[in-house]
A = this chain, B = another copy of it.
Amino acid sequence: MPLNEFEIIEKYFTNSWTNNSSVVIAPGDDCAVLATPQGKELCFSTDTLNEGVHFLDQSPPDVVASRTLACNLSDIAAMGGDPYGCLLAITLTEVKEPWIRDFSKKLFLLLENYDCPLVGGNISKGAALSLTMTVIGSVPRGKAITRSGARVGDGIYVTGELGDSIKGLELVKSGETDNYLAARYCYPVPRIEEGKALRGIASSMIDISDGLLSDLGHLCTASGLGAEIRLDSLPISTDLRETCGEDSAISFALGQSDDYELCFTIPKECEKKINFLRNSDLVSVTKIGEMIEEQKLLGLSGDGEYIELQSTGYMHF
């Protein structure tokens, strides 16, 4: 007989590590109760991942756990937040205990790594595997980095390298799972430390999970500005360049990339401050352009030509 939902929670989703100092009443009651951190504000975001839409059918449980958490924590990172806790609602079609075991093992490993207690959850039955996580982050009062603070002339930067994930997905679909690009798709890393390091420096920030152009477009709209991108300065990994060539790599980097990187703007007077980011344990950051007054996304090619770029992020409908 399969485990019932209470037994699943008891066996696989109860972790003594969740007794961290913020957790006043641990999960298991009608609600968990968290302390309110002094001098801070709390950030909230929620995201659903559906099998066959946000991850491939029959994806390994550690991939589902990694993508669910990254996709959510990336939103906390984009505000400059620290993970404070999360809740996870899972809809299963049936109880496959090995899947649940491996999923929860990876999930708790990652949660511990990000010091993010799981403070609530729900398991229910439905037509397809679906996971909805809600994340809570904390930021010092008034220090959350929004999308709307960019000014004309601010430098536009991104963390890491772009375009790997969407090419990685192509490789995974064709059965090639054991390579760098596939790993970038399967095990994305939310840029929490980078986001925190940018508090008080970045004038605006967004995560680019829908794609650079789409999400930079949102940042531009929120700031009432446009952006000029130098296409030859987009950070592209050697693996991506070698796998698909320069032109395709740039398309992947701009389009529906599924990258969990951050795009942010830095006022001119602060640009020196981000040099320390380049010398620390954090992932590299690259300047890719500048904010402009005209409300357009312009691409500047290596030979000096301007192209108007179309925002082409992922749309469900």
Contacts and interface: CB of A to CB of B under 8 A. Distances in A.
Interface of A: 2-5, 8, 24-25, 28-38, 40-48, 50, 52-54, 74-76, 78-79, 81, 85, 87-89, 91-92, 94-95, 119-128, 130, 132, 134-137, 139, 144, 146-148, 205-207, 222, 315-317
A31 B85 CA distance: 14
B87 A130 contact: no
Contacts of A40: 36
Contact of A79 (B31, B81, B122): B31
A36 B41 contact: yes
Contact of A30 (B35, B78, B124, B127): B78
Contacts of A79: 29-31, 33
Contacts of A316: 4-5, 123-125
| A contacts with B: majority SS | strand
Contacts of A94: 317
Contact of A222 (B29, B74, B85, B135): B29
A29 B315 contact: no
Nearest to A218: B6
A267 B234 CA distance: 67
12 contacts: A2-B317, A5-B316, A29-B147, A29-B148, A30-B206, A33-B43, A33-B139, A44-B85, A46-B89, A47-B122, A120-B134, A122-B132
